[in-house]
């Protein structure tokens, strides 16, 4: 593959990645409504899927500073959607779990998000879906393995 062909592929990838990400986030936000931000929804999703976690774990998973997670957690706590529980053996460690209200709101928003994604995914045949998921998983793994990619100049 020539340098020009590689550049065209990179340009197309960047363009599509930006477009898909922005459109998808906007559509997800419409489904979530005004009760939550997308980041708050994803935070509730992570806590729900793991039953319990810490702020440090969230920051690591979402590749953000702990201060960004603290702001999200504080807002979710103020809304009564999560609870904080201190570790009995180490009072510095705080575990986050969903409250009943948090579970209920998450279930409502997640159902709407699932219907949205289903409306897109059903437009592909099974082979396309399978290949897309495999490719996306591979891209995710590559990105995970290269947290601090070295850019050659």
Q: pLDDT tens-digit profile of 126-150?
A: 999 999 999 999 999 998 888 754 5
Above 80 in pLDDT, residue 38?
Answer: yes
For residues 48-65, give the mean pLDDT.
Answer: 93
The pTM of this model reads 0.83
> Which pLDDT value is given to residue 152?
47
Structure tokens at 136: 């996306």
Q: pLDDT tens-digit profile of 58-90?
A: 999 998 999 999 999 999 999 999 999 998 888
Q: Which CATH architecture has domain 26-145?
A: Orthogonal Bundle (1.10)
What CA–CA distance (Å, rounded) separates 15 from 18? 5
> Which pLDDT value is given to residue 87?
87
Tokens 């729900």 label which residue? 48
Above 80 in pLDDT, residue 102?
Answer: yes
What CA–CA distance (Å, rounded) separates 84 from 51? 13
Distance from chain centroid for Cα 9: 26
For residues 94-115, give the mean pLDDT.
Answer: 96
> Which pLDDT value is given to residue 153?
44
């Amino acid at each position: 593959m020539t340098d020009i062909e590689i550049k065209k592929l990179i340009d197309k990838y960047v363009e599509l990645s930006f477009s898909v990400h922005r459109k998808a986030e906007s559509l997800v936000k419409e489904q979530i409504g005004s009760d939550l931000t997308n980041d708050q929804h994803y935070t509730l999703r992570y806590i729900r899927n793991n039953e319990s976690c810490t702020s440090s774990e969230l920051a690591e998973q979402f590749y953000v500073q702990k201060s960004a997670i603290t702001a999200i957690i504080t807002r979710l706590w103020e809304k009564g959607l999560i609870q904080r529980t201190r570790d009995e053996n180490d009072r510095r460690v705080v575990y986050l779990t969903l409250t009943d209200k948090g579970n209920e709101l998450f279930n409502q928003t997640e159902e709407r998000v699932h219907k949205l994604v289903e409306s897109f995914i059903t437009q592909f045949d099974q082979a396309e879906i399978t290949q897309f998921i495999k490719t996306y998983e591979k891209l995710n793994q590559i990105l995970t393995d290269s947290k601090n990619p070295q850019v050659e100049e």
